Structure 1
Amino acid sequence: MGDSSVTGGDRFAFYADRRRRSFVKVAGVVLCGGQSSRMGSPKALLRLGEETFLERTVRIVHAVVQPVLVVASSEQELPPLVLDDVAILRETKDHEGPLAGFLTGLTHMTDAVDAVYLSSCDMPLLKPEFVRRMTESLGDFDIVIPKTGGRFHPLAAVYHKRVIVRAIPLYADGHRRMTTLLDNHRVRVLEESDFADIDPGLDSLRNVNTPEEYAAVLARFQ
């Protein structure tokens, strides 16, 4: 990523004035069109309490940013999404990867939106405080992304709309991973300690891919 990322001792410098710096209008994009091959059934329809994973994710993201666009595959079954400022977009080519879904959502945002918080639908323990911390950290950067255990989490990140200039040719060249966007952009990296006060267990980054992981999440709510 070059020298544009921010880590280390200055990672808290922006917190005191983050409300002043968060003047950009942030919307939400929730991806749910994956194949769920390891789960064996559609993850968007898995239930946690009275909500499906998708309903829960949309509700939490919507509590912080609006509008929220849900990007689904062309024939995908979805639960009813009844919140205001929530719309469903259907991909023209299914299972093209998260970069394709991201571009679908980003290109349908109105001119009033400056940036988007991107989420997958398989993080059922997402906290609104996490979404708020991410969106308030954008400032003048192109991307804000969490990094834990040496791993980036591009499906829990904030992207300014100007990244589309780079994202479209990357997709056209065959790239499908969101992490390809980290090059040639000004990136702010948030690490574990940046969430210690709001999500010390980093539950917001815990995605569910297998029946065993699903059972573990269910056990916490019984």
Structure 2
Amino acid sequence: MSGVPSEEGARVPAGRVAGLAGVVLCGGQSRRMGRAKAWLDFGGEPLLARVVRRVAEAAWPVVVVAAPGQDVPALPAGVTVVRDAVEGQGPLRGIAAGLEAVAPHAERAYVSATDAPFLTPAFVRRMAALQQGFAVAVPHAEGHHHPLASVYGCAVRAEALALLAADRRRPFFLFEQVPTRVVSPELLLEDEALAAADPELWSLRNLNTPDDYAAALAAAGLR
């Protein structure tokens, strides 16, 4: 895709996983939050910019998938915004759009939601390592899967589009269809770097309501 920077032929910066891109979805309607999550202030920067910056420490290029006409805050240099042309089809459509955007430059991508203020690059790297040999690696914690904290091979876009065409919009349907590794918290924390950086796996913590936002700010020592 034109406009997405490539580092092909260049040395991969320390900390970035070769062949791994990043995709951050921000097109949700944020009904329970009552305002756009992308613009929530977190430590002096918009939440979307914070998450993109964290993802970019482990993956490149990074694209943000936004809704048509959606206003997004300023993002780090080199990050591209792509527009999901079909609204109302949920995260699977955004995942497919993001994979399409990065496919010319990477074999796989870490896909994140906007509302993950405690995401650590160590988590992204660990998920990338665990996805090796599988089409998808998805965490399963506290009784449910986390499709927006997962690594997807770019080749699964075709299956995602077929599911959307059949009106089967849940990411779980994709996990049923392609070779998927379901990752437990215990397996994640076998990695010493992740266990040191995020022993409680707060990388999986999302902000859905104003109370969630207030609690996250308090936990981070922010007003």
TM-score by length of 2: 0.85
CA contact (8 A) 1:72 1:89 kept: yes
For 2:80 and 2:47, the matched residues in 1 are separated by: 17
For 1:46 and 1:112, the matched residues in 2 are separated by: 30
CA contact (8 A) 2:53 2:76 kept: no
For 1:149 and 1:23, the matched residues in 2 are separated by: 28
List aligned pairs for 1:74-93, cutoff 5 A: 74-84=68-78, 86-93=79-86
Number of aligned positions between the proteins: 200
1:137 to 130, 140, 148: 130
CA contact (8 A) 1:25 1:113 kept: yes
Deviation at 1:146, TM superposition (A): 0.6
Q: Which runs of 4 or more aligned residues in structure 1 lie more than 6 Å from their structure 2 counterparts after TM superposition?
A: none
SS of the aligned residue for 2:106 comes to coil
Structure 1, gaps ≥5 residues long: 1-21
CA contact (8 A) 2:103 2:154 kept: no
Structure 2, gaps ≥5 residues long: 1-15, 190-194
Which segment drifts farther, 108-117 or 47-56?
108-117
Which segment drifts farther, 129-138 or 63-72?
129-138
AA in 1 matched with 2:201 = L
Which segment drifts farther, 150-159 or 94-103?
94-103
1:52 paired to 2:35: no
1:193 to 164, 186, 197: 186
SS of the aligned residue for 2:102 comes to coil
For 2:88 and 2:162, the matched residues in 1 are separated by: 19
Report the CA distance shift for 1:106/1:203 in structure 2 as closer, same or farther (over 3 A). same
Deviation at 1:88, TM superposition (A): 0.2
Deviation at 1:80, TM superposition (A): 0.6
**Structure 1 partner of 2:55:** 61
**Structure 2 partner of 1:214:** 213
Deviation at 1:93, TM superposition (A): 2.5
Report the CA distance shift for 1:204/1:188 in structure 2 as closer, same or farther (over 3 A). same
Q: RMSD between aligned alpha carbons?
A: 1.6
For 2:17 and 2:98, the matched residues in 1 are separated by: 21
AA in 2 matched with 1:209 = N
Identity of aligned residues (%): 41
Report the CA distance shift for 1:110/1:151 in structure 2 as closer, same or farther (over 3 A). closer
AA in 1 matched with 2:43 = G
List aligned pairs for 1:57-206, cutoff 5 A: 57-84=51-78, 86-196=79-189, 197-198=195-196, 199-206=198-205
Deviation at 1:51, TM superposition (A): 1.1
1:40 to 34, 52, 55: 34
CA contact (8 A) 1:118 1:157 kept: yes
